């Protein structure tokens, strides 16, 4: 099973449209957003994903009521704080801020996804693979990327756009 990972879209609708195209073309089974969606309009575009979306809210998601309504309307699972679930026989945790990653989280999960920094992170800690695909909001031109994770092999592919 392959999943898509996106972080910190910050309402960059043109980039979000491209992200939807990339994930749909890749045929991912599920997409995880690590927060900082910013506005409900972004979820409207993400609703065009062929795969279901789950994730967490970030520190810039101030329009919570609108985001929560849109997430419900589009049947997206977005939570405050950490999201922990099983997918493709792997335990996955999703947080926004990497400071939320502690020894307990890395000991009990195979994959920990985070955002917030707008920087690529790929490291192993406590038995878990920690991954942030980095920038995708267009703040750092030429650095836009999303990730695809093969859960069977726990291997990553970075898609730059």
The two structure tokens encoding residue 57:
């809210």
pLDDT value at 36 more than 80: yes
pLDDT single digits (tens) 73-87? 999 999 999 999 999
Arithmetic mean of pLDDT, 19-32: 98
pLDDT of residue 152 exceeding 90, the answer is: yes
State residue 139's pLDDT score. Answer: 85
Which burial class, exposed, middle or buried, applies to 7 when counting CB atoms under 10 A from its CB (0-12, 13-18, 19+)?
buried
pTM confidence score = 0.97
Residues 6+ apart with CB under 8 A from 153: none
Per-residue pLDDT for 141 more than 90? no
**pLDDT attached to residue 140:** 79
Instruction: Look at residue 60 and tell me whether its pLDDT is greater than 80.
Output: yes
Quick one: DSSP state of residue 10? T
Phi, psi of 45 (to 5 degrees): -70, -45
Domain architecture of the chain: domains with CATH: 2-160 (3.60.21.10)
Residue 143 confidence class, pLDDT cut points 50, 70, 90: confident
Q: How confident is the model at residue 134 (pLDDT cuts 50, 70, 90)?
A: very high
The model's pLDDT over 4-18, given as tens digits with 9 standing for 90+, comes to 999 999 999 999 999
């Amino acid at each position: 099973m392959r999943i898509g990972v996106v972080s910190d879209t910050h309402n960059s609708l043109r980039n979000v449209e491209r992200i939807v195209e990339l994930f749909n073309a890749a045929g991912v089974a599920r997409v995880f957003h690590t927060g900082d969606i910013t506005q409900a309009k972004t979820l409207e575009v993400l609703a065009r994903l062929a795969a279901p979306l789950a994730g967490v809210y970030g520190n810039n998601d101030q329009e919570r009521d609108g985001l929560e309504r849109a997430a419900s309307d589009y049947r997206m699972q977005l939570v405050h704080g950490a999201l922990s679930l099983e997918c493709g026989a792997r335990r996955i945790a999703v947080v926004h801020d990497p400071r939320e990653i502690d020894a307990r989280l890395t000991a009990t999960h195979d994959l920990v996804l985070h955002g917030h920094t707008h920087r690529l992170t790929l490291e192993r800690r406590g038995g878990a693979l920690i991954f942030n695909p980095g920038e995708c909001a267009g703040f750092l031109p030429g650095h836009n990327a999303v990730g695809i994770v093969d859960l069977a092999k726990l291997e990553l592919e970075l898609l730059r756009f």
